[in-house]
Amino acid sequence: MGDETMGMSETPREQRELPILQRVAPRRRAPTPEGSVGYGEPAPQARYVPQPLDARPHAEAIGEWREVLRETPLLALGARADALRRERAPADVVTYIVDRNINYTNLCITDCKFCAFYRRPQDDEAYVLSYEEIGRKIDETKALGGVQILMQGGHNPYLPLDWYTGLLDHIKEKHPIHVHGFSASEIEVISRVAKLPVDEVLRELHEAGLDSMPGAGGEILVDAVRDVIAPKKIDAARWLEIHEAAHEIGMHTTGTMMYGVGETWEDRLEHMLKLRAAQERSVARGAGRFTAFIAWSFQPAHTEMAQWDLPHGTGMDYLRITALSRLVLENVANIQVSYVTQGPKMAQVALRFGANDFGSLMIEENVVSAAGVDFIMPEDEIRRLIEDAGFAPRRRYQDYRLVEEGDSGCPCCAWRAPVAV
């Protein structure tokens, strides 16, 4: 309360005028008997008709990889991916990062059917965190050895570009840390509100202190799938375009995939091949690139799609996808497991199917936990799991450099974000 009151005098005018911005939600909501959801009624299941192979981009490669999947037993696929992983990343090391998810707002107008996290503008549970609250969370993160924050939120049309640049200035000045934040679809909304092109918005955010960009909002990069699960979100081409624009100004980003929403293997392969092609273009330009790929399965609880009859991802699916992502995305150096959605034991196994990174310690996580999944673990347990799988656990930074004793700060943004490690 004291912090909030003190912060008011420093609060930008735009922030004070919007009453919604003064509400701060608790970390996690208890689901109501009907499920604590951001929508009114469950959506009727939409019929999805996949495109024929020959109408797809990368049709030939999709066909070839489909054949590999059909002909290669799971363990052989895993061994092939494991061999490539040993070439691409330090063979005996599995990395992880100590960071915190900060979901600065849950107010969203995009109504993705797979999302349990967002709240509509009129919802009493809609919130925007104040700069001071975000600063407090960063200080806690740094005290625990955190080296970055992952900042993501809903598509909130009430927040102008100044709010974001003001926040980044505030962070870099008062709570310096690496900021990995704002997905491509958030960038699109910020640019629409600001009526500015995305590359200009990206440049302003980068100059204010945005260091790298997460891959959220990728879901499945096939428009026919996106039209069913998130019809108001940017299309696949725009998602890729925004990532490439970020790369062009020197920012690294990550690629992600959320599967198990009714898509086919052809869709999954098309998604990976589009990422691979984007990476080829970015690497050729020589600035930023995708540093890692992370896949996770759709978590249906409390979402509009909860009642849909979908073939949700199995453990074997997850291992096939992990192995395939290492093989198809051979130009992306790091493949991350998702212990938060798959559980720690499946994550351990995935380390032998091409993955080399255990992801984030996640001091706080709100999005997946809103869908009832909660596998957050202490650091000791993450290290134990990695060692038990036969690897040396090492802390890393966002750009995958290892944290070393005596480091004076995050090496990729030290000039503005010195951190104690």
Question: Which residues of the shown chain bind ligand SF4 in the complex (CB under 6 A)?
Answer: 108, 110-112, 115, 117-118, 154-155, 185, 230
Least Å from the CB of residue 305 to ligand SF4:
12
Least Å from the CB of residue 119 to ligand SF4:
9
Amino acid letter, 152: Q
Q: Which is nearer to ligand SF4, 185 or 253 (CB)?
A: 185
Least Å from the CB of residue 152 to ligand SF4:
8
Least Å from the CB of residue 105 to ligand SF4:
9
Backbone angles phi, psi at 80, to 5 degrees: -65, -45
Strands of 114-182 (E only): list them. 148-152, 178-181
What distance in Å separates the CA atoms of residue 58 and residue 417, rounded to the nearest whole number?
41
Q: Which is nearer to ligand SF4, 88 or 302 (CB)?
A: 302
Q: Which is nearer to ligand SF4, 108 or 417 (CB)?
A: 108
Least Å from the CB of residue 78 to ligand SF4:
31
Least Å from the CB of residue 155 to ligand SF4:
5
Handedness of CA 299, 301, 303, 307 (dihedral sign): positive
Least Å from the CB of residue 391 to ligand SF4:
33
What distance in Å separates the CA atoms of residue 224 and residue 231, rounded to the nearest whole number?
9
* Residues in the chain, total: 421
Q: Which is nearer to ligand SF4, 154 or 393 (CB)?
A: 154
Handedness of CA 54, 59, 64, 65 (dihedral sign): negative
Q: Which is nearer to ligand SF4, 115 or 138 (CB)?
A: 115
Least Å from the CB of residue 410 to ligand SF4:
27
How many other CB atoms sit within 10 Å of the CB of residue 273? 21
Greatest CA separation for the chain = 65
Q: DSSP 3-state assignment of 335?
A: strand
101 - beta bridge partners?
150
Backbone angles phi, psi at 120, to 5 degrees: -70, 160
Q: Which is nearer to ligand SF4, 229 or 382 (CB)?
A: 229
Q: Which is nearer to ligand SF4, 164 or 353 (CB)?
A: 164
Is-contact 179 168, C-beta < 8 A? Answer: yes
Q: What is the DSSP letter of 125?
A: T
Amino acid letter, 154: G
Buried b (16+ CB within 10 A) or exposed e, 334-345: bbbbbbbbbebe
Q: Which is nearer to ligand SF4, 111 or 379 (CB)?
A: 111
Least Å from the CB of residue 165 to ligand SF4:
21
Distances (CA, A) of 221 to 43, 63, 148: 22, 17, 27
